[in-house]
Amino acid sequence: VNARYLGLGSRFESGPSPLLVATGFRTESRQARYLHRGLGLADLAHVLALRDAGVLPDPAGSRLLGALVELADRGADELAYDPADGDAYNSREHMLQDRVGTDAGWLSLGRTRREAGRVAFYLAARDALLRLHETVAGFVGAAITRSLANLESWWADLTYWQPAQVSTFGHYLLSFAHEAARHLDRIEASWTRCGLVPVVAGGVAGTTVPVDRPAYLRRLGLGGAPTTSRDAMWSVDGLLDIGFVADHTAVTASRMAEDFLLFASAPFGYVRLHDAHCRASVYLPQKRNPYALTVVRGGTSVITGRVGGLVTSVRTASAQTDNWIYNYGEVLETVELAGQMTALMGEVLTEAEFDVRRMAERALDGFTEAADLAERLVSESGLDYRTAHSLVAATATAAERRGDTRLTAQDYQNLARQSGADLSPADARSLVLSRAHDGSAAPNEVHAAADRLRRHVIDRSRWRDKAGQAAAEAASRLVAEGRTASAHPVRTEGIQP
Amino acid sequence: VNARYLGLGSRFESGPSPLLVATGFRTESRQARYLHRGLGLADLAHVLALRDAGVLPDPAGSRLLGALVELADRGADELAYDPADGDAYNSREHMLQDRVGTDAGWLSLGRTRREAGRVAFYLAARDALLRLHETVAGFVGAAITRSLANLESWWADLTYWQPAQVSTFGHYLLSFAHEAARHLDRIEASWTRCGLVPVVAGGVAGTTVPVDRPAYLRRLGLGGAPTTSRDAMWSVDGLLDIGFVADHTAVTASRMAEDFLLFASAPFGYVRLHDAHCRASVYLPQKRNPYALTVVRGGTSVITGRVGGLVTSVRTASAQTDNWIYNYGEVLETVELAGQMTALMGEVLTEAEFDVRRMAERALDGFTEAADLAERLVSESGLDYRTAHSLVAATATAAERRGDTRLTAQDYQNLARQSGADLSPADARSLVLSRAHDGSAAPNEVHAAADRLRRHVIDRSRWRDKAGQAAAEAASRLVAEGRTASAHPVRTEGIQP
Amino acid sequence: VNARYLGLGSRFESGPSPLLVATGFRTESRQARYLHRGLGLADLAHVLALRDAGVLPDPAGSRLLGALVELADRGADELAYDPADGDAYNSREHMLQDRVGTDAGWLSLGRTRREAGRVAFYLAARDALLRLHETVAGFVGAAITRSLANLESWWADLTYWQPAQVSTFGHYLLSFAHEAARHLDRIEASWTRCGLVPVVAGGVAGTTVPVDRPAYLRRLGLGGAPTTSRDAMWSVDGLLDIGFVADHTAVTASRMAEDFLLFASAPFGYVRLHDAHCRASVYLPQKRNPYALTVVRGGTSVITGRVGGLVTSVRTASAQTDNWIYNYGEVLETVELAGQMTALMGEVLTEAEFDVRRMAERALDGFTEAADLAERLVSESGLDYRTAHSLVAATATAAERRGDTRLTAQDYQNLARQSGADLSPADARSLVLSRAHDGSAAPNEVHAAADRLRRHVIDRSRWRDKAGQAAAEAASRLVAEGRTASAHPVRTEGIQP
Amino acid sequence: VNARYLGLGSRFESGPSPLLVATGFRTESRQARYLHRGLGLADLAHVLALRDAGVLPDPAGSRLLGALVELADRGADELAYDPADGDAYNSREHMLQDRVGTDAGWLSLGRTRREAGRVAFYLAARDALLRLHETVAGFVGAAITRSLANLESWWADLTYWQPAQVSTFGHYLLSFAHEAARHLDRIEASWTRCGLVPVVAGGVAGTTVPVDRPAYLRRLGLGGAPTTSRDAMWSVDGLLDIGFVADHTAVTASRMAEDFLLFASAPFGYVRLHDAHCRASVYLPQKRNPYALTVVRGGTSVITGRVGGLVTSVRTASAQTDNWIYNYGEVLETVELAGQMTALMGEVLTEAEFDVRRMAERALDGFTEAADLAERLVSESGLDYRTAHSLVAATATAAERRGDTRLTAQDYQNLARQSGADLSPADARSLVLSRAHDGSAAPNEVHAAADRLRRHVIDRSRWRDKAGQAAAEAASRLVAEGRTASAHPVRTEGIQP
């Protein structure tokens, strides 16, 4: 262990303590599964840039490229990432050293381990964000689909779990679609900021190595607003953005899960989960537990904690590496978990049965037409609103004290008499249809809103496909370039061995 | 107490318990200082819209407008916001009732208390975000200014508090400017999302009241992507955005504070805070404590906690009001606190003295030219990088064991001999100047980056001024319209009592 | 402003910046309402100790005592605590200086501002913890009382909101009483640790002032395990304990609130809150919202955030004051808020109506006797448990597919036939009574457990009363001693100018 | 997959969705590594209790015991815990079914999956807490040892990183030992509460199965204050305690790490980490980064986040399983991580070199004798403290303006003249020795405090050894009893098939 590690610095008389290996290095080394691919691309871009600049002579360069291409062709799990070596970067260096000896050292010319790590992380983060984008778009799509199928599913929308106002279940469902769709924008903003990476930045303040930095970034498919090497190296806001956007998406899924837990209870009985999302009990033979919903809610708690830890972690002084040791992994796992929670909730939503008959039967329970009725008293009898509201409230109170949960025909007659308005009992459908304006629960309006939203999501999905394709192409091109270059050593001048 | 409260609903046999008044209602009522102005604007817009729609007849409408204008002319602290009445909205209703009796009731036609609250909150949040934007821009400006004054302040930049690489203090400072400048974009995105408010949305699902909703929004200076009334009423992502952006800005200020705490220590002695930011000790006569820095860091911890509480709070089921009861106040106070921390750090930065002589004296301590030297060995002697790195490391290790903190002329000669390179001892200035590329610490590069950033901030400040002006004008126009309308009752037709 | 402040140190050329006053000093000064009483006691103990040691001569000592007694007789709100002076300690020093001139300076002999603050804080924290203890004991008492009144309120206990097993509502309620009662122990442990204060500790490492430290602590009614002055001054674990115990208590209240939100929904209809805990709607005339429950849940979110901020805050290096600047207030407000949430939930619980008839009617809905039935199949027919469980599960599934929510007599007959057991349909009462063992829902067992718990709480309340009385007596004694001493200056020898 | 899963309930037409397996079940199944041992013990205790009660007939019982003993003899990693089966309990049931067929079903008689999980978790938590106890005791021991070795290492203790008062490094180090030692009590309190488990509690409300519950608990080595089955099943305060105590311990380690990061900086140079805790740089040849310290600090941020997530998670309604799905693993991993951070910091502390010469050289820099000097002016010249303090402050200010960092002999003479006191320049040693009182930095006092603490820790370690031994013995006894019983089937009467 120590011998290999010592090889790096030769400044130390002993290698790392086993406890340090079992904690810090193990944590960092485990991140190879996220960083392997990006480290490979970063290394290729680095070597090609040094070679273009005439700094790295052949055959050292071409041999190193050959080894890099070989590693790039393999998955992280096929390779010996070993905590005893340090982090993923160190392990790679050992792998390369085994293949090309001291030529591997060129990878550190003009570049710190942490620069390579940043590039790899942001490449991985971009991939993860695009996957999250796709998952969220899928959730939005599921909510739109089920909303459109429930445009005329009358129900009493709730506040504080109390019946509030007659509406449609389609209107209810679409509200989650809109909230989730806004996360697409957030994901894109975070994705864009992930383009901000240090390039041959030396320790932090730059280097004399004369590489073509714009070309370097193009090779990686990265780039963003110009900044300084210190900012690109040490700023933490990009990390926070990723954590925050993961929390945003999970919270939306969790809120729907929380609602559905209630709606799936026996007394409500509005939602029945698919068997594939339920769980039996080994003890209670009759149980059919909505397990998937607690998975979503609990996972969101975990995510919320992770993001809290992230904020605590980055709130240290600048240029401290604990921002990164843990957060490469923590952040990417958080995005992955947020995606899983969103996908699971989308699947539950797609497969659930809604008991729309039961919803409709109870749509007027709890006097949910009261506000509409007060409005009718105003418009038809010229009462002022306070008086109208009080009349209806008194009527509802009296009915409730009688033990009724709805207004009766007699209540309507009394109200008509008291107000002078021409009133007849309302049904859920006509109440909802009477509210014809942008954004309301009226089926036409929900339909229009859903259509608009679907077009928006298609639009954003096009962006995602394009971004993903560009990233994939850049990566392929880079590996191909490395492969070609490794096979064609050049005669280097300027720098002579 | 109870009598007034009962007046609202007449459904209850008792008023709220004193404990409920002392907890929930007190919390909500205290928010009047944030919501008063926005509630006034929301009420004016509502009454004008109802009046335009011919729903609200005069003189009720004009009298109500008159009372609203009177309240709008006064500050929250001049008015009797009283927890015994409930929340700020309820208190206002009582004030209006005292002035115009049951005419006050019209304010609830087509609109819940919480809709008025949302509008008022988002108006207040927009103001708060613009103030934060200005504060952050000021911080960026301060960092740019001091960066430009320290383009040639050579120092050893640090990682893990260990000397890393020769750089300039201007390069160091500018990294905070870039990080903070990105917050401007985040603030703007959050500001934009605050345009998403429910408009005459009834309980949640719409209403029959035939108002012109686009005109309503124009009066308020609001508006955004179209959505449903349920989404506008109950989504929580807008709240989270505001909290997250506050955390972002505070974290940046806190990171600089943490650095400066170190730099202000006697052994470092790089930074001396202005007396106005220090604190004496009543016990230790010699103390001169960098108090302001701990205020910034501690305040950031408080903010981080607030935002954690916010996430926990909104992660409930949908349509639960505890999202809002506490968060109106929590969120706006958090933004305010983040602004204070940023402003204070900006002021500290502006007023602090930097001991650039001391920085320069130590710029090469800890062998900080080592990486540059290794690069020179490569470029001048054709060594491979691993070998060059090892040679320098061995030289530094030997020097350190001798008790030196710098390389000596002899060390350089030895290295020259070992490598065949033509080497002479470097000074900090030439090392930094030799790294001439975009983003590096070279004075020209930092100057160019600072200029670019300053133009960007000026640009964003123009946006802010415009946005602020538009909001202020909309508000003035709305009050003026209310004033005029209150003085000119119209003969209402259509709706006749 | 500055002049007064400068008086303290005379080391500064300017006073604090207005922004520093508006942030740090305002925050600290606001804490006077918590710290005033304790600072008064700390100052009295300090002066008496110095006087006993012959260090502080009369008449300076007696005049200073007179002024301290005068301040101790007044509330924080009657006195001019002013951020422009700094923190509460500084303001007090100014008040004293206005009364006795430079004699006020003796308060800083051997003692820092922060030592006085620690003592005052821990005294305030002990009071707050005793109040919380009383509130929690009250909550436990309320839960016991209502549990005993519902020993035979049969219902189906729930998991995942799904009917699980027939039980009693008394058993349900008592589980909260037990959880809350454990908080009493936690509060006591935290209270005990609050005895750990620095005593005449100088800057941190002690002082030459020869006071009798044990007597000093006795005067304050404090004391604990011996430790070093640095630990007593700077350790943060005591702060964390207080925050954690507040979170503990609020979480218990919030969990009951969350349950009751569901139980108060129309489809459940198990719980009806008292009017005094509900809220009407200005728009929806029929609404009767369980407002108090959302106040409890939302307040718990706020507390959770506060505690998260506290942990972030104390996780700095040692001897940094931001641990304390904000946390004096944050921690004490958090305890207060936790007490309010607990008290409010206790009041809601005491006043709520339970619809036990409805609970009983539905006790067997959802096949909740299934597990009991499977046990009967085992014990009466000798089936193995897996087979018995499967038989019951199949029966329930078939019934459910028929559209039934309960087993019918026919189902029982079929099961009897299949299993060979002698079965007759069960009723809720006999099912519960058949489970006669410690901790079960059987009325006798719940009764016994409730009695045991009540005795425990009475016991703990005796501890609390004793602790509270001792603290109050120590405080009275201290003020009285100061009053007497101020009226009887002694001829000081030993120390003569 | 599905077939096996369906076998459990036979109520479902499909098995779990792959996404549910990949999320919820994977999370739960992964916890086998923590729960395997405890589930084995719980199962053995359960079967033995059923057998003692004559409920479970042989040979079913003895065969099942045989299979359980076989599993108990193997580690979790040797067995096929498979997410496709559900959680660890389900996997075990499948393993048992493969071995003994439907006899495996008896494990669910009178007991839910979650009861078995609770028992297994609390057994695992007790083990983890004892390990943490040992680690913390080790940290305390390390701090005591190094404190005793530095009783006369004079230094200037710091506040805000500013020199405050002359003290000893031994006094500094001991403050961490005291803080950490208090965690031992917290760990023990948490350990005790982990004895509170449900025993044959049925769904939640008890069962008719007539087992001897006290004997059941004795077999498991568990037991605690009596409570109800619902409390034991669903209370969350025990979870929170474990999380909180983990956070407590990590915060202490992290605070020392944060200090040492500073002390290891070149300008301070007080602490030099062992090579085994440092890290080289691949780019900066001279670097020797104090890597272990950032591992400790960063790990503490992660822990803080985990605990925040835990609180969010348990703050749901009662009887919701997301409290447990994730938290079994999250909580135990958090305790493990806290132990690692504490152990690593203890190791760093043990191996670090302290440059006590440098500390001593600077002990008086920054006028750190100022407070002592003011005290001397009071005691020797009879000046009042304010005047004395002002004189010293003015002297220090003047010296500082001269560019000095210490008082000169001339300063002392001037002070002597101004005050009339007999003064001679102080040295660090005599200053510290002059403060002879309990808890001060005087070497004798620190020595006494360290001795007292060491005795306390030895005492607590005895408790731990005893507790650990008792647990180990109970476990061995239980497995042995199962082994014996499996080999000696009894003729069962009473229950005959």
pLDDT digits (tens, 9 = 90+) for C228-237: 999 999 999 9
Could you tell me the two tokens for C93? Answer: 């020093």
Q: Identify the band that residue B11 occupies on the pLDDT scale cut at 50, 70 and 90.
A: low
* Minimal-distance CA residue of chain D relative to C212: D437
DSSP H or E stretch at residue D168: strand D162-168
DSSP H or E stretch at residue B163: strand B162-168
Residues 6+ apart with CB under 8 A from A25: A16, A83, A84, A85, A86, A87
Task: Give, for all 497 residues of chain D, the pLDDT tens digit.
Answer: 333 433 344 567 889 999 999 999 999 999 999 999 999 999 999 999 999 999 999 999 999 999 999 999 999 999 989 999 999 999 999 999 999 999 999 999 999 999 999 999 999 999 999 999 999 999 999 999 999 999 999 999 999 999 999 999 999 999 999 999 999 999 999 999 999 999 999 999 999 999 999 999 999 999 878 899 999 999 999 999 999 999 999 999 999 999 999 999 999 999 999 999 999 877 777 778 999 999 999 999 999 999 999 999 999 999 998 888 999 999 999 999 999 999 999 999 999 999 999 999 999 999 999 999 999 999 888 889 989 988 998 998 899 889 999 999 999 999 999 998 888 898 999 999 999 999 999 999 999 999 999 999 999 999 999 999 999 999 999 999 999 999 988 765 544 44
Instruction: Judge: B110–A202 Cβ closer than 8 Å, yes or no.
Output: no
Contact residues on chain D for C237, CB-CB shorter than 8 A: 179, 182-183, 248, 251-252
User: Among D344, D127, D128, D132, which residue's Cα sits nearest to residue D249?
Assistant: D132
Place of tokens 């942990």: C311
Q: What part of A 287-326 touches D (C-beta under 8 Å)? A: 288-289, 291-292, 294-295, 297-299, 301-310, 312-313, 316, 320-323, 325-326
Evaluate if residue C1 carries a pLDDT over 70. no
**Residue A357: burial class (beta carbons within 10 Å; 0-12, 13-18, 19+):** exposed
Q: What average pLDDT does chain A have?
A: 93
Question: Which residue, among A286, A320, A364, would best test binding to C if mutated, counting the most C CBs under 10 Å from its CB?
Answer: A286
Evaluate if residue C491 carries a pLDDT over 70. no
Q: Identify the band that residue A493 occupies on the pLDDT scale cut at 50, 70 and 90.
A: low
pLDDT digits (tens, 9 = 90+) for A348-382: 999 999 999 999 999 999 999 999 999 999 988 88
Q: Which of C15, C295, C323 sits opposite B23 (nearest CB)?
A: C295
pLDDT digits (tens, 9 = 90+) for A154-172: 999 999 999 999 999 999 9
Find chains touching chain B: ≥3 CB pairs under 8 Å: A, C, D
The region, left, alpha or beta by phi > 0 then psi within -120 to 50, assigned to residue A197 is beta
Could you tell me the two tokens for D181? Answer: 């030692």
Cα–Cα distance for residue pair C148/C157, rounded to 1 Å: 17
Cα–Cα distance for residue pair C342/C347, rounded to 1 Å: 9
The separation between the first and the last C-alpha atoms of chain B, rounded to the nearest angstrom, is: 33
User: Among A271, A453, A252, A447, which residue's Cα sits nearest to residue A348?
Assistant: A271
In degrees, to the nearest 5, what angle opens at C-alpha D457 toward C-alphas D455 and D462? 95
Could you tell me the two tokens for B185? Answer: 């974009």
Residue D422: the pLDDT is 87
Q: Which of C110, C248, C432 sits opposite D205 (nearest CB)?
A: C432
Cα–Cα distance for residue pair C192/D46, rounded to 1 Å: 40
Residues 6+ apart with CB under 8 A from D76: D32, D33, D36, D37
Cα–Cα distance for residue pair A189/A130, rounded to 1 Å: 11
DSSP H or E stretch at residue C272: strand C271-272
Cα–Cα distance for residue pair D250/D340, rounded to 1 Å: 9
Evaluate if residue A1 carries a pLDDT over 50. no
Cα–Cα distance for residue pair C133/C188, rounded to 1 Å: 8
Residue D7: the pLDDT is 39
User: Among D3, D2, D7, D74, which residue's Cα sits nearest to residue D39?
Assistant: D74
Q: Cis peptide before C59, with omega less than 30 degrees from 0?
A: yes
D343 inside 8 A of chain A by CB: yes
In degrees, to the nearest 5, what angle opens at C-alpha B445 toward C-alphas A116 and A236? 40
Residue D339: the pLDDT is 98
Alpha-helical runs (H) found in A403-442: 409-419, 428-433
Cα–Cα distance for residue pair D442/D167, rounded to 1 Å: 8
Looking at residue D83, the DSSP 8-state letter turns out to be G
The answer to whether B168 and B363 are in contact (CB under 8 A) is no
Pairing of strands D154-159, D162-168: antiparallel
The answer to whether A141 and A457 are in contact (CB under 8 A) is yes
Q: Which residues on adjacent β-strands are paired with residue C162?
A: C159
Residue A379: the pLDDT is 87
Q: Identify the band that residue C422 occupies on the pLDDT scale cut at 50, 70 and 90.
A: confident
- Within its chain, how far is the Cα of A174 from the centroid? 19
In degrees, to the nearest 5, what angle opens at C-alpha C214 toward C-alphas C213 and C217? 90
- Within its chain, how far is the Cα of B192 from the centroid? 14
Tell me phi and psi for residue A111, to 5 degrees.
-150, 130
Residue B212: the pLDDT is 95
Closest approach of chain B CAs to the CA of D112, in angstroms? 28
Question: Which residue, among C294, C328, C353, would best test binding to B if mutated, counting the most B CBs under 10 Å from its CB?
Answer: C294
Residues 6+ apart with CB under 8 A from B158: A319, B164, D265
The answer to whether D215 and D51 are in contact (CB under 8 A) is no
Pairing of strands C353-354, D154-159: unpaired
Could you tell me the two tokens for A462? Answer: 């096009």
The answer to whether A307 and A250 are in contact (CB under 8 A) is no
The answer to whether B48 and B481 are in contact (CB under 8 A) is yes
Residue D392: how many CB atoms within 10 A of its CB? 27
Listing DSSP states for B301-367 in one string gives HHHHHHHHHHHHHHSS-TT-THHHHTHHHHHHHHHHHHHHHHHHHHHHHHH-EE-HHHHHHTTTTTT
Residue D284: the pLDDT is 76
Looking at residue D25, the DSSP 8-state letter turns out to be I
Cα–Cα distance for residue pair D81/D33, rounded to 1 Å: 9
Evaluate if residue B7 carries a pLDDT over 50. no
Tell me phi and psi for residue C150, to 5 degrees.
-125, 35
Contact residues on chain C for D247, CB-CB shorter than 8 A: 240, 311
Residue D114: the pLDDT is 93
Q: Identify the band that residue B10 occupies on the pLDDT scale cut at 50, 70 and 90.
A: low
Q: Which of C11, C108, C302 sits opposite B309 (nearest CB)?
A: C302
Q: Which residues on adjacent β-strands are paired with residue A167?
A: A155
The answer to whether A324 and A120 are in contact (CB under 8 A) is no
**Residue A195: burial class (beta carbons within 10 Å; 0-12, 13-18, 19+):** middle
Average pLDDT over residues A413-430: 91
pLDDT digits (tens, 9 = 90+) for C292-307: 999 999 999 999 999 9
The answer to whether D274 and D235 are in contact (CB under 8 A) is no
Instruction: Judge: B262–A317 Cβ closer than 8 Å, yes or no.
Output: yes
pLDDT digits (tens, 9 = 90+) for B230-259: 999 999 999 999 999 999 999 999 999 999
Q: Three-state SS for B145? A: helix
Cα–Cα distance for residue pair A379/B110, rounded to 1 Å: 12
Listing DSSP states for D99-152 in one string gives HHGGGGGGGGTTB-HHHHHHHHHHHHHHHHHHHHHHHHHHHHHHHHHHHHTTTT
Cα–Cα distance for residue pair B171/B152, rounded to 1 Å: 9
**Residue C67: burial class (beta carbons within 10 Å; 0-12, 13-18, 19+):** buried
**3-state DSSP: chain D helix, strand, coil percent, rounded to 5?**
70, 5, 30
Listing DSSP states for C428-441 in one string gives HHHHHHT--STTSS
Find chains touching chain C: ≥3 CB pairs under 8 Å: A, B, D
Residue A471: the pLDDT is 97
Instruction: Judge: A262–C266 Cβ closer than 8 Å, yes or no.
Output: no
Instruction: Judge: D367–B396 Cβ closer than 8 Å, yes or no.
Output: no
Tell me phi and psi for residue C105, to 5 degrees.
-60, -25
Evaluate if residue B14 carries a pLDDT over 90. no
Average pLDDT over residues C330-341: 98
The answer to whether B306 and B239 are in contact (CB under 8 A) is no
User: Among A99, A106, A67, which residue's Cα sits nearest to residue B387?
Assistant: A106
Instruction: Judge: A268–C265 Cβ closer than 8 Å, yes or no.
Output: yes
Instruction: Judge: D435–C496 Cβ closer than 8 Å, yes or no.
Output: no
Tell me the one-letter amino acid at A315: R
Residue C200: the pLDDT is 96
User: Among B115, B11, B107, B2, which residue's Cα sits nearest to residue A391?
Assistant: B11
User: Among D365, B338, B44, which residue's Cα sits nearest to residue A311?
Assistant: B338
The answer to whether B246 and B337 are in contact (CB under 8 A) is yes
Instruction: Judge: D385–C105 Cβ closer than 8 Å, yes or no.
Output: yes
Alpha-helical runs (H) found in D149-270: 169-193, 213-220, 229-234, 237-263
Cα–Cα distance for residue pair B180/B139, rounded to 1 Å: 8
Evaluate if residue A384 carries a pLDDT over 60. yes
Give C405 or A184, the one with higher predicted confidence: A184
